[in-house]
Amino acid sequence: MSRLGALGARLYRGEVGYDFIGKRKVWYGLSILITITAILGLAVQGLNMGIEFKGGAVFTTPKTSISVAQAQTDAQAAAGHDAIVQKLGNGTLRIQVTELSQAQADKVKTQLAKDLSVDENKIAADIVGPSWGETIANKAWTGLAVFMVLVVIYLAIAFEWRMAVAALIALIHDLTITVGVYALVGFEVTPGTVIGLLTILGYSLYDTVVVFDSLKEGSKGITKQTRWYYSEVANRSINGTLVRSINTTVVALLPVAGLLFIGGGVLGAGMLNDISLSLFVGLAAGAYSSIFIATPLVADLKERDPQMKALKKRVLAKRAAAAAKGEPAEGAEDTDVRYDDEAEDVPGGVATAAAVAGPRGARGGRGRPSGRRR
C-alpha cells in the first residue's frame, strides 16, 4: 500500500486525525479575510463585463503579423474609445469595441482594414445588443436562486436544517471568492463565465455532501453514549473523507488547469479563459469550504442544541473522572496526523494511545477504543 493510501486508511479508521473543528476559528478568520478581499476587489475594480453584456461590435481579422499593442492603438483610433484586442491561436485577432451602432461598426471595419493591411471582406463583424446580455444575466440570477432554494430543501430533508444552512453559507462563500478573483485579475466576464459559475455550484456541494453523509451516519444514537460529543464525531467525519476529497479535487483540477494555462494561456483561446478560471477557482474553493467551513458550521450549530450541550458535559465529566483516577480517557482525540512506517506490516496499523474511532466505529485492538458504549 502506498504511503498516502496507508495514511488515508488510518484516517478512515480513526487511528490518526487532525483537529479541524477545534481550530475552526482560524479557518473562519481566514475565510472572512479572503471574502473581504474579494468584496473589496469587486467594490474597487468591479467586473470587466464582456461585450455581450455591454453591447458593441466584435471584429475578427484574418491572420496577420500586426502586434496586439499596435492593433489596439489602431482600433481605438478608429472607434474613438477603448478597444480590447486578443491574439487567437491561429494568428488572427479578435477586436472588441463597445457601444457601436451598425453604421459606426461599418466605418470602424473599413478603417481597421486599412490600418492592419488586410482585406476588408475577410474581417468578420458581429454586432451585439446590450439587451441580449441583460437577458442572459437575468436568467443566470433566476437559475442561481432556484438552485439555492432546491439545495436548501433537499439538504433539509435528506439531512437536517443545520446542514442546509451550512451548505448555503459555503456556496455563497465559494461564489463570492470566485467572482472576487475575476474582479482582481481583470478577466472578462462573458456568458462562458456565467456557465462556469453555475457549473461550480454542483462541484462545490459534492465534497460537502460526502462529509455530511459520513457525519449523519457517525452521529446516529450519539446521545446514548458518553465517549464522544458531536464536534468530535464531526471531526472524525472530516478526517475519514479527507483523502477522498483531496484525490477527487486534484483529479478535477488537473484538466481544468490544462484548459486555463494551456488552452487559454498558450493557445490564446479567450473563451477557455472565461470558463476555466471560474471552474478552477470554484473547485478549489468548494473543496476548502466543505472541510473548513461547512462541517465546522454544522458542529457549531449542533452544539447549541440542549441535548448536545448535555452530552458534552457528560463526556467531559467522565473523562475528568477517569483522569483523576489515572485511567486513560476513552474517546479522547488524537489530533496529530502521524505516520508510522512500521505500521504497514501490522494488520490495521499501530494505533496511538488515544486514538479516535473511525466513522464506522473502531475495532478492538491494542491502544484503540473497544467499541463498547458506556
173-222 pLDDT, tens digit each: 999 999 998 888 887 788 778 888 888 888 778 888 889 998 999 898 89
Per the CB < 8 A criterion, the answer to whether 287 and 249 are in contact is yes
Q: Which of 135-139, 233-237, 321-325 has the lowest mean pLDDT?
A: 135-139
Q: What is the largest CA-CA distance in the chain?
A: 93
Helices 295-302 and 24-44 cross at an angle (nearest 10°) of 120
DSSP E strands in the chain: the ranges are 48-49, 56-60, 83-87, 93-98, 124-128, 188-189
Task: Let me know the angle formed at the C-alpha of 234 by 303 and 242, rounded to the nearest 5 degrees.
Answer: 155
Mapping DSSP to helix (H, G, I), strand (E, B) and coil, where does residue 58 land? strand
- 51 pLDDT higher than 90: no
Burial string for 200-237 (b: 16+ CB within 10 Å, else e) reads bbebbbbbbbbbbbbbeebbeebeeebbbbbbbbbbbb
Average pLDDT over residues 10-19: 67
**Domain spans of the chain?**
18-49+132-308, 56-128
pLDDT of residue 33: 95
pLDDT of residue 302: 93
C-alpha cell at 199: 457549473
48-49 and 93-98 strand pairing: unpaired
C-alpha cell at 314: 457528560
At 337, the pLDDT band (50, 70, 90 cuts) reads very low
Establish whether domains 18-49+132-308 and 56-128 are of one fold: no
pLDDT of residue 117: 83
Place of cell 508510522: 340
At 349, the pLDDT band (50, 70, 90 cuts) reads very low
- 370 pLDDT higher than 50: no
How far, in Å, CA of 110 to CA of 70, rounded? Answer: 17
pLDDT of residue 92: 83
The fold of 56-128 is Alpha-Beta Plaits (3.30.70)
- What lies within 8 Å, CB to CB, of 284 at 6+ separation is 249, 253
Could you tell me which CATH class the domain 18-49+132-308 is placed in?
mainly alpha
**Residue 305 Cα distances to 222, 278, 317, angstroms:** 13, 38, 18
The pTM of this model reads: 0.73
Mean pLDDT of the chain: 78
How far, in Å, CA of 361 to CA of 364, rounded? Answer: 10
